[in-house]
């Protein structure tokens, strides 16, 4: 079975969020299954990975986007160093940029990416068994495969769509239709949702099956999906919730090269403390206090707008009985407020930016991980935290609801129902109480490290879905 994963992110090539971690791990674990050949196709980015590895040009052609003729280069990484074949699509001036997102011509950019992939496969007579489309950036592929005249060779190829985050749907005005390859215009309804071209809606309509990255998130989409609730209810017969896993080769505290001190289940209580002491020294924090951490994008869906108030109120209400460290970036207002708090509270430190190595160190050092998400389709941070002996403090939503049960029910973390400052601080105070009961805290750390979030089970579920 030959599977092509289509995505704008893949760790370690380019990462913005959890999408990259999934696409960087799922095909690797699928390839461990007999008779499965999973590959990844993504845009070229001017990042270190592209320059540190050798690539062969496997295709050089042209596509027409409206009146624009664009050169398409497809390059294959030579050594399969990631555990799968990796193809980078380069379009000079369009798909050769620094970052995956943030450009004014994103709609044109993603259309060209999808068009280029299908043009390459058609021209080279490559017919996969499955095209697995990740998020709206590749959401028009199922429509193009079935209805664009240029891709008759691919018609009938099975397509699977995965919704990693339904908050982003890629809506564009109908004047962008001129940049799609030619199709019979009576099919326009398969692209439309409420008067716009909506790639995520089109993916749901046209794909053979679609998945969400947890069962809990699928349930939530039926009632809260930014206007697509009725669509997902209509198409529920081809909807599946499959929880993400984590790459336990990358996220292994015993072998992780990014840690100052590696540890395992036998010595975690001793060595995790050493990591914490070193991190606290670097950021001027007190290593004798419990350390709460937040790692992620500063987006409202992540509850990041609540962080500044959580910082000052939690320190004030506990009379300075805790430390907080925050790593992330995104919203400039949140960034500025956190920078200000750095100078106000000795118990608080923030580091603004995306720093993969630092995130690993924080997971290995923190006692608690804060995830006050309003929306969390799956969440990987809580899984990383538990694997590194850190207790997750999470809102009761989406994949967090599936993976973190409250300690009051014999679970692995602390839940709060509403993502508001009062509820978050109440959960943090509960965490303080556990921390001060050394045996209970030690038991929780050890039990969390026993959870199995490896990709093997989920990879098998995807293969079963493809076969079905």
- The answer to whether 329 and 296 are in contact (CB under 8 A) is no
- The answer to whether 167 and 18 are in contact (CB under 8 A) is no
The CATH architecture to which 267-451 belongs is 3-Layer(aba) Sandwich (3.40)
pLDDT in tens, 163-187: 999 999 999 999 999 999 999 999 9
Q: Annotated binding residues for ADP-alpha-D-glucose, as ranges? A: 15
* Helix, strand, coil distribution of the chain in percent, nearest 5: 40, 20, 35
pLDDT value at residue 17: 86
- Report the C-alpha gap between 102 and 463 in whole angstroms: 34
Q: What is the pTM of this model?
A: 0.90
pLDDT value at residue 79: 95
Cβ atoms within 10 Å, residue 345: 15
Asked, colleague to colleague, whether 2-245+456-467 and 267-451 share their fold, the answer is yes
Distances (CA, A) of 52 to 156, 181, 207: 38, 35, 36
The residue extents of the domains of the chain are 2-245+456-467, 267-451
Q: Annotated binding residues, as ranges? A: 15
**What are the structure tokens assigned to 299, written together?**
């987006």
| CATH T-level assignment (fold) for domain 2-245+456-467 | Rossmann fold (3.40.50)
Which residue ranges of the chain lie beneath pLDDT 50? none
Cβ atoms within 10 Å, residue 127: 13
Listed in sequence order, the residues at least 6 apart from 91 whose beta carbon sits closer than 8 Å to its beta carbon are 70, 71, 72, 73, 112, 113, 116
- The answer to whether 154 and 129 are in contact (CB under 8 A) is no
């Amino acid at each position: 079975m030959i599977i092509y994963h289509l995505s704008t992110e893949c760790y370690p090539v380019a990462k913005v969020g959890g999408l990259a971690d999934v696409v960087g791990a799922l095909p690797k674990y699928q390839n461990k299954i007999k008779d499965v050949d999973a590959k990844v196709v993504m845009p070229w980015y001017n990042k270190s990975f592209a320059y540190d590895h050798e690539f062969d040009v496997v295709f050089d052609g042209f596509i027409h986007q409206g009146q624009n003729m664009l050169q398409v280069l497809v390059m294959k990484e030579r050594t399969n160093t990631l555990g799968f074949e990796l193809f980078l699509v380069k379009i000079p001036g369009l798909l050769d940029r620094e970052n995956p997102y943030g450009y004014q011509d994103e709609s044109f950019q993603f259309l060209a990416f999808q068009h280029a992939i299908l043009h390459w496969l058609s021209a080279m007579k490559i017919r996969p068994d499955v095209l697995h489309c990740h998020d709206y950036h590749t959401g028009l592929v199922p429509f193009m495969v079935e209805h664009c005249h240029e891709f008759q060779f691919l018609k009938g190829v099975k397509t699977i769509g995965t919704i990693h985050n339904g908050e982003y749907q890629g809506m564009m005005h109908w004047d962008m239709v001129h940049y799609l390859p030619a199709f019979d215009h009576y099919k326009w309804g398969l692209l439309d949702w409420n008067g716009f071209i909506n790639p995520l809606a089109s993916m749901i309509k046209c794909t053979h099956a679609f998945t969400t990255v947890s069962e809990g998130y699928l349930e939530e989409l039926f009632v809260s999906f930014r206007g697509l609730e009725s669509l997902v209810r209509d198409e529920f017969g081809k909807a599946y919730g499959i929880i993400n896993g984590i790459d336990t080769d990358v996220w292994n505290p015993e072998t992780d090269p990014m840690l100052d001190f590696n540890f395992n289940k036998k010595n975690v209580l001793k060595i995790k403390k050493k990591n914490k002491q070193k991190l606290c020294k670097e950021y001027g924090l007190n290593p004798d206090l419990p350390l709460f951490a937040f790692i992620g994008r500063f987006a409202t869906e992540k509850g990041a707008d609540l962080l500044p108030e959580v910082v000052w109120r939690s320190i004030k209400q506990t009379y300075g009985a805790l430390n907080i460290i925050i790593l992330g970036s995104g919203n400039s207002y949140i960034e500025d407020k956190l920078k200000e708090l750095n100078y106000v509270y000795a118990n608080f430190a923030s580091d603004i930016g995306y720093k993969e190595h630092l995130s690993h160190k924080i997971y290995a050092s923190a006692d608690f991980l804060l995830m006050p998400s309003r929306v969390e389709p799956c969440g990987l941070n809580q899984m990383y935290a538990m694997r590194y002996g850190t207790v997750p403090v999470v809102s009761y939503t989406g994949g967090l609801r599936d993976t973190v049960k409250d300690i009051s029910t014999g679970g692995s973390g602390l839940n709060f129902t509403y993502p508001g400052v009062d509820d978050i601080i109440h959960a943090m105070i509960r965490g303080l109480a556990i921390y001060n009961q050394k045996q209970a805290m030690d038991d929780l750390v050890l039990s969390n490290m026993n959870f199995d979030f490896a990709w093997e089970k989920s990879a098998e579920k995807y293969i079963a879905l493809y076969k079905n």
